[in-house]
Structure 1
Amino acid sequence: MVAKKTLSTAPDVAALLADAALPHRSIVLALREAILATDAAIGEAVKWNAPSFHVGGAHFATMHLRGTRLQLVLHLGARKRAMPKPAIDDPQGLLDWRGEDRALLAFASADDVIATRDAWQPVLRQWMAYV
């Protein structure tokens, strides 16, 4: 069992979350908490003006805050490289592949984050293995 991680108090993350204009606030907060609870090794920072998550300094997921639904962009870091096929077991078809090195998870509400957590957290753990 993974230990529950304490939410970061990094100034950049805290400042972003305190911004009154933060779109999708309830979804961002629910998703952030669930991502950090996925694995104790996950850290966070602000990348591309949005919450971003990393393991050992290598970023693998960044929230996309614009649009009607909150999207979590899964990527393999700054360098473009292809994900080995088939690398990710996604039995519920949650991933929307946007290239060989990135995919999206989309959430319509905070309830959606929580309701689908048992399906997307294993996908996230698999993705982290390739960073």
Structure 2
Amino acid sequence: MTRQIINLNTEVTTLLDELNHPFRNEIELLRICILKTNNGLEENIKWNGPNYSIDNEDRITMRVQPPTKQIQLIFHRGAKKQEQPNDKLIANKSQMLVWKENDRAIVTFKSLQDIERGKTELTTIVNEWIKAAK
């Protein structure tokens, strides 16, 4: 059995330590879940929260500011506005996804239990998003 190395970014960890966020456990679980999904993902900071990019292209940003009673993952195709695809970027019919545009969706978690229940589905969404958002 091979062990997968999870590359948590120390700058992100430091930022989260300074924030003293009430949902820190949820944030940590999501960080690990996202990074385990694809070895090509790199973690950095964007919009004052954890961000995940592949090939230097931002794809998923965790909304942790301002601290509220939830954590959101924003699935996108980078900071620059792009021409909208005719259909949703991924065909996933997950109830977790709230679409804002055809190339932007949000997933909201309100508890550790939400994350635990949704981990398998979230892994599928992350993989589909990374493939489609190129």
Shorter-normalised TM range: 0.7 to 0.9
TM-score of the two chains, using structure 1 as the length reference: 0.86
Distance 1:68 1:9 in 2: 24
Query: Quick check: 2:4–2:36 contact (8 Å CA) kept in 1?
Result: yes
Which of 38-47 and 113-122 deviates more?
Answer: 113-122
Matches within 5 A, 1:1-131: 4-10=4-10, 12-65=11-64, 66=66, 67-81=68-82, 82-129=84-131, 130-131=133-134
RMSD of the alignment, in Å? 2.0
Contact in 2 for aligned 1:31/1:110 (Cα 8 Å): no
Alpha-carbon distance, 1:20 to partner: 4.9
SS in structure 2 at match of 1:93: coil
Does the CA contact (< 8 Å) of 1:71 and 1:105 recur in 2? yes
Contact 2:85 / 2:103 at 8 angstroms: preserved in 1? Answer: yes
Runs of 4+ in 1 over 4 A off after TM superposition: none
Displacement of 1:41 after TM fit?
Answer: 0.6
Structure 1 pair 56/23, CA: closer, same or farther in 2 (3 Å)? farther
Provide closer, same or farther for how the CA distance between residues 57 and 84 of structure 1 changes in structure 2, counting only shifts above 3 A: farther
1:16–1:22: 8 Å Cα contact kept in structure 2? no
Are the aligned partners of 2:9 and 2:43 in contact in 1 as well (CA < 8 Å)?
no
Question: Which letter maps to 1:80?
Answer: K
List alignment gaps of at least 5 residues for structure 1: none
CA distance in 1, matches of 2:130, 2:86: 13
CA pair 125-83 structure 1, distance change in 2 beyond 3 A? farther
CA distance in 2, matches of 1:53, 1:20: 19
Counterpart amino acid of 1:4?
A: Q
Q: What is the distance in 2 between the residues matched to 1:119 and 1:83?
A: 23
How many pairs are equivalent?
A: 129
